[in-house]
Amino acid sequence: MTRPLLVFSGRSNPVFSAAVCETLGIQPGSIETTQFSDGEISVEIGDNVRGGDVFVIQSTSTPGNDNLMELLIIIDALKRSSAGRITAAMPYFGYARQDRKVKPRVPITAKLVADMLTTAGADRVLTMDLHAGQMMGFFDIPVDNLFALPIMIPYLHGKYGSENVTIVAPDVGGVERARFFATRLANAPLAVIDKRRAGPNMIASMNVVGEVAGQTCVIVDDMADTGGTLIKAAQTLREEGAKKVVACCVHAVLSGDSRRRLNESPIEEVIVTDTVPHPKGGAGDRLTVLSVAPLFAEAIRRIHSDDSVSSLFR
């Protein structure tokens, strides 16, 4: 007997969840969430999930702690309701930047979140463009890490072509991701920015490794948070003779006034996805939002039917 497919949504990104369900041709599961005056969250599942193949869509974006706790509570409620299999579908995985010890007495919070999800009752995790792919090793359950590349590459190629385009890694840690993009954009040349930090979210200096003069430079990164790295990188690239600078970031965290700062920067377009919700910009806004909901929907369909997910990226 085939397990029924059920998709529930947390409150972090309901528009994204609705788009996933529409693509799958199903109605989102019924769930009622209550938040008490002291901030505590309680949920009640409105559908019968016994034996079902259940997916919970929830990004742990701002407010990250509330959204993470809500996800854990939903998973626990489903587990106690005898769901057959529970997949935490997290378009944006918060705390991913805390994936290693950079000082003697600091936590590895990404590992803690992985343990919490497993303890709550998740049987597998579906996410997108983890900050570091090695994070999949933090889990003792299956993890499917999707890539936004199948959505972003056609847009980049359609708008900017592949001639005189250079893909730029904003730091050494992003070289693998940038090379992945460059290879699939007609083997575009690759440049790397040597970034030196003075402290958290503080950049001391940048130097370009590679030829960028006269090129349309596409900075590829997994996320845009304060925008400091992107803005400084764009300024450095223009000083080195780049004709045009475009940013391509999967997760638009965009904390504080970063969106305004990006709009005032040398970056002509900031291409992001809808893994994190953001309000529609006004005149002069440089944010272009591409939807990865169809990609998530296809991954959910394949997981449910026990088909290959990795073949999405071949």
Is residue 79 assigned to a domain? yes
Is residue 314 assigned to a domain? no
Q: Among 39-48, 84-93, 106-115, 195-204, which is the least confidently predicted range? A: 195-204
By residue count, the chain amounts to 314
Q: Which tokens belong to 251?
A: 């997760």
d(Cα 88, Cα 75) in Å, to the nearest integer? Answer: 8
- 3-state SS string for 33-98: EEECCCCCEEEEECCCCECCEEEEECCCCCCHHHHHHHHHHHHHHHHHCCECEEEEEECCCCCCCC
Do residue 259 and residue 303 come from a single domain? Answer: no
pLDDT tens-digit series, residues 196-210: 665 655 556 788 999
Predicted local distance difference test score (pLDDT) of residue 7: 98
41-45 and 190-199 beta bridge pairing: unpaired
Predicted local distance difference test score (pLDDT) of residue 223: 94
For residues 43 and 114, is the Cβ–Cβ distance under 8 A? no
Predicted local distance difference test score (pLDDT) of residue 105: 95
Q: pLDDT over 70 for what percent of the chain?
A: 96
Do residue 238 and residue 106 come from a single domain? Answer: no
Predicted local distance difference test score (pLDDT) of residue 165: 96
Do residue 195 and residue 262 come from a single domain? Answer: yes
Do residue 191 and residue 226 come from a single domain? Answer: yes
Is residue 302 assigned to a domain? yes
Q: Which tokens belong to 273?
A: 């996805």
Do residue 159 and residue 131 come from a single domain? Answer: no
pLDDT tens-digit series, residues 234-279: 999 999 999 999 999 999 999 999 999 999 999 999 999 999 998 8
| Selected catalytic residue, list 79, 195, 243, 280 | 195
pLDDT at 113 over 80: yes
Closest of 134, 225, 127, 212 to residue 169, by C-alpha: 212
CA-CA-CA-CA torsion sign (152, 100, 127, 14): negative
Do residue 126 and residue 198 come from a single domain? Answer: no
Do residue 55 and residue 141 come from a single domain? Answer: yes
Do residue 113 and residue 164 come from a single domain? Answer: no
Do residue 192 and residue 287 come from a single domain? Answer: yes
pLDDT at 114 over 60: yes
For residues 114 and 97, is the Cβ–Cβ distance under 8 A? no
d(Cα 84, Cα 305) in Å, to the nearest integer? Answer: 14
Is residue 204 assigned to a domain? yes
Q: Among 27-36, 65-74, 171-180, 232-241, which is the least confidently predicted range? A: 171-180
Q: pLDDT over 90 for what percent of the chain?
A: 84
Q: What is the CATH number of the domain that holds 64?
A: 3.40.50.2020
Predicted local distance difference test score (pLDDT) of residue 197: 61
Residues spanned by the domain of 206: 149-291
For the chain, report the end-to-end CA distance as a whole number of angstroms: 31
Do residue 127 and residue 195 come from a single domain? Answer: no
The structure's pTM equals 0.93
Predicted local distance difference test score (pLDDT) of residue 251: 97
Bridge partners of 168, per DSSP, are 191, 219
Do residue 124 and residue 203 come from a single domain? Answer: no
pLDDT category, 102, cuts 50, 70, 90?
Answer: confident
Is residue 11 assigned to a domain? yes
pLDDT, mean over the chain: 93
Is residue 304 assigned to a domain? yes
Is residue 63 assigned to a domain? yes
Question: What radius of gyration, in Å, describes the C-alpha atoms of the chain?
Answer: 20
Count of domains forming the chain: 2
Is residue 313 assigned to a domain? no
d(Cα 312, Cα 314) in Å, to the nearest integer? Answer: 6
Closest of 230, 238, 246 to residue 213, by C-alpha: 238
Do residue 165 and residue 78 come from a single domain? Answer: no
Q: Is 101 among the residues known to form the active site? A: no
